[in-house]
Amino acid sequence: MFSLNHPNGKIFENKLTLTKTQQDNVVKGIVKNYDIDSIEFLELKKDIKTGTYHLIFIINDKIKTGLSVSRIDELNSNLNNIGLSPIENFKELKRGQPLDETEEILNFIKVKYIGE
């Protein structure tokens, strides 16, 4: 599974995945601070050199971005302080005030999970 010392020089471990609950936690963290309509999770990669996990996704069918965490289990609970970057790309989507409750709003966000 690891590609360290692979001839093509890859530094990422592929074929990783997240549970639906972990991906929902990411969505909740994003909608708390941003007014989005959809999110498509593309892939989860691990940087072999740093050990950091990178989750790549597309917001509203047009803006590709990602989230980095040092441990996958960080996604097991609600994420309250997600900021999307580059900031300029998400300025229009930024909420004036963060939402207090995100559970119900999940019903209105189109989510495509990794592997679907």
Residue 49 falls inside a structural domain: yes
Residue 21 falls inside a structural domain: yes
| Least confident interval from 7-16, 42-51, 107-116 | 7-16
Residues 40, 46: Cα–Cα separation, whole Å: 19
What residue type is assigned to position 51 of the chain?
A: G
Instruction: Give the E-state strand segments of the chain in sequence order.
Output: 12-16, 38-47, 53-59, 63-69, 110-112
User: Between vectors from CA 60 to CA 72 and to CA 17, what angle results, nearest 5°?
Assistant: 25
Residues 111, 42: Cα–Cα separation, whole Å: 11
Residue 89 falls inside a structural domain: yes
Residue 7 falls inside a structural domain: no
Domain carrying residue 87 = 12-112
Residue 3 falls inside a structural domain: no
Contact predicate 29/69, CB 8 Å: no
Contact predicate 36/59, CB 8 Å: yes
Among all chains, which residue has been given the structure tokens 């609970």?
77
Residues 96, 78: Cα–Cα separation, whole Å: 20
Residue 5 falls inside a structural domain: no
Using CB atoms within 10 Å of the CB of residue 109, give its burial: 0 to 12 exposed, 13 to 18 middle, 19+ buried. Answer: middle
pLDDT value at residue 12: 52
pLDDT value at residue 61: 97
Domain count, the chain: 1
Residue 1 falls inside a structural domain: no
- pLDDT, one tens digit per residue, over 44-92 is 999 989 999 999 999 999 999 999 999 999 999 988 778 998 889 999 9
